[in-house]
Amino acid sequence: MSPVSRRRKPNKTRTRKRRKTAASNTSAASTAPPTFVDNALRTVAGISECDDPLQAEFLAAALLSDRSDLTDFLADKLVPAIAERDAPDAVALVLALGAVADGKVAEAATAGLDRLVTNGAQAPAWADELREPITSYGHRRIVLLPSTLTVLACEFHRGQRTHTVLIITHGIDCGAAVSITLERNRALQDLLDRVGTQLTDDVYDITTEDLDAAEFRRQVVHALNARRDHEFASGVDEADDDERWPGYHALALLLHRWLESMPESDRPPTPHGKCARPPGAPSPLRRKKLPAARTAANGPAPVFQLRVSLAGSTPPIWRRIEVPADIMLDELHGVIQVAFEWDDYHPYAFATDYGVFGSPESALPVRSDESVTLEQVAPGENATIHYVYDFDDCWEHDVVAEKIVKPEPGVVYPRCASGQGAAPPEESGGMGGYLELVEILTDPDHPEHENCLDRIGLDSADEFDPTWFLPGEVNWALGAVR
């Protein structure tokens, strides 16, 4: 999927000649320092040349979401000062701000646009389309079982364009929004068919409920407001390290405006008291603010001695692995795959006190594990994180930092120091299925004996010893991935 919400901000530069008008001599021009105005216009450079008003709305929403605590400054100073710049990007920005903002900022944008029009400023090509009414269709609530995740989805139409919005919410997080995806010029059913196939194959059973527009608006507003309240209560911006553009907060701002095209529900808002998490408690998706990564000033990274155990295994199946403290989580994923002889066919995730991390290509609402280190999410001895591989069979690994030591001279890390028990075959049906498999393989008279051999690709039960383990075999395999 290539949602618009994952695209980075355009990096366009333009050099414009400003025409002086009578308005440029008014006192409003001095209400904001010129550097503020220049920075704002630099941020949205090229906005007048967008081929779709949605692109202009993204730019305006990103500008507003970065300054959500400066409403008075925006309304009283910055927006009027931008309106004094008779340049194409200034006209376009004021127009887009009027479409995205509300309250005082919207009023200031409307007044600035009136002044620009009076002075003969030329509107961008997309101005008429931006003024067309927004309608919505196909309001749906999609429950992903057995998780507590829900997707709210619908199509928004304006002119000849169709845009699909997906909002993922988390049931144990008061139904707060986890993420917003906006796909330009894509029909809802097309997107749901594609995403639904991946979700069904990977993880979930899906049930779908049609909603009327008012109820859809009520549920989306609740999801957005619950996320806002939790961020405010915890003091943590849960999108503060999100590199996607335009980012969650800009999309939430835009979505609030689009929801105004729907009727309001007669039902009261869902109170926070009815959810599993009390107001102000940290989010299960990010309970703590992620510590900063190690820098050169911190000195060389120590070594973490990890005990990685397969949850539910009897007798216990575990590996003692030594890795650099600053190993990236995606690299640690590769080490665990080698240590347990997994084939890396399925999705995975690390569940930590600082969030849930996994592959950015996953259909799950996880944060990328490619730029987060082990010591950031396990910052001390006895710290524990959880690694889950294959959400169907659900191989859960408890990862405990037993020791933090200095690296030994001449030792190449990562390495496996010890362990116990053979790794289960990849497709043995989770820990419960594996324990049953071992029992069947030890009984040649069991009616399923031959079927189990076929399923795991063995000719004889003698080929599999559940007690077999040699650290040297793991280290040999690790040598190929170091």
pLDDT single digits (tens) 254-309 = 999 999 999 999 888 776 544 444 444 444 444 577 888 888 888 899 999 999 99
Confidence check: pLDDT of 375 > 90: yes
Per residue in 171-185, pLDDT (tens digit) is 766 788 888 988 876
Confidence check: pLDDT of 244 > 60: no
How high is the pLDDT of residue 280? 40
11 by Cβ neighbours in 10 Å (0-12 / 13-18 / 19+) ranks as: exposed
Confidence check: pLDDT of 192 > 50: yes
Share of the chain above pLDDT 70, in %: 78
Confidence check: pLDDT of 229 > 90: no
Cis peptide before 146 (omega within 30 of 0): yes
Determine the residue type at 371: S
Structure tokens at 99: 């479409």
How high is the pLDDT of residue 252? 92
Confidence check: pLDDT of 18 > 70: no
Of 148-152, 207-211, 231-235, 258-262, the one with minimum mean pLDDT is 231-235
Q: Check residues 348 and 306 and name the one with the higher pLDDT.
A: 306
Whole-number average pLDDT of the chain: 79
How high is the pLDDT of residue 38? 82
Cβ(143)–Cβ(153) below 8 Å: no
How high is the pLDDT of residue 173? 64
Going along 285-394, which residue ranges are E strands? 303-310, 318-324, 348-352, 355-358, 367-368, 384-389
- Separation of alpha carbons 229 and 280, rounded Å: 7
Pairing outcome for strands 395-405 and 303-310: antiparallel
- Separation of alpha carbons 388 and 369, rounded Å: 13
- Separation of alpha carbons 415 and 75, rounded Å: 59
Nearest to 163 by CA among 145, 180, 141: 180
Structure tokens at 214: 């008012």
Confidence check: pLDDT of 27 > 50: no
Confidence check: pLDDT of 19 > 60: no
- Separation of alpha carbons 366 and 360, rounded Å: 7
Of 233-242, 244-253, 468-477, the one with minimum mean pLDDT is 233-242
- Separation of alpha carbons 211 and 143, rounded Å: 13
- Separation of alpha carbons 177 and 239, rounded Å: 11
Per residue in 400-453, pLDDT (tens digit) is 999 999 999 989 999 999 999 998 988 787 888 888 888 888 888 888 888 888
How high is the pLDDT of residue 474? 93
Confidence band of 194 (pLDDT split at 50, 70, 90): low
How high is the pLDDT of residue 32? 53
Q: Check residues 58 and 462 and name the one with the higher pLDDT.
A: 58
How many CB atoms are closer than 10 A to CB 427?
Answer: 16
Confidence band of 364 (pLDDT split at 50, 70, 90): low
Residues with Cβ within 8 Å of 280's Cβ and at least 6 positions away in sequence, in order, are 230, 233, 234
How high is the pLDDT of residue 274? 40
b vs e for 233-266, b when ≥16 Cβ sit within 10 Å of the residue's Cβ? ebebebbeebebbbbbbbbbbbbbbbbeebeebe
Q: Check residues 92 and 393 and name the one with the higher pLDDT.
A: 92
Confidence check: pLDDT of 355 > 60: yes
How high is the pLDDT of residue 367? 80
- Separation of alpha carbons 180 and 368, rounded Å: 16
List the alpha helices (DSSP H) in 159-313.
188-202, 213-234, 248-259
Q: Check residues 364 and 74 and name the one with the higher pLDDT.
A: 74
Phi, psi of 229 (to 5 degrees): -65, -40
How many CB atoms are closer than 10 A to CB 308?
Answer: 21
As a whole number of Å, the end-to-end CA separation of the chain is: 31
Confidence check: pLDDT of 26 > 70: no
- Separation of alpha carbons 452 and 448, rounded Å: 6
How high is the pLDDT of residue 188? 73
Per residue in 440-470, pLDDT (tens digit) is 888 888 888 888 888 777 788 887 888 889 9
What is the DSSP secondary-structure string of 192-224?
HHHHHHHHHHHT-EEEEEE--HHHHHHHHHHHH
How many CB atoms are closer than 10 A to CB 12?
Answer: 12
- Separation of alpha carbons 58 and 246, rounded Å: 6
The SS3 of residue 70 is coil
* Selection from 26-30, 34-38, 318-322, 448-452 with the highest mean pLDDT: 318-322
Confidence band of 233 (pLDDT split at 50, 70, 90): low
- Separation of alpha carbons 86 and 123, rounded Å: 11
- Separation of alpha carbons 130 and 386, rounded Å: 47
- Separation of alpha carbons 462 and 271, rounded Å: 60
Cβ(227)–Cβ(273) below 8 Å: no
- Separation of alpha carbons 182 and 12, rounded Å: 22
Backbone CA torsion sign across 139, 276, 400, 396: negative
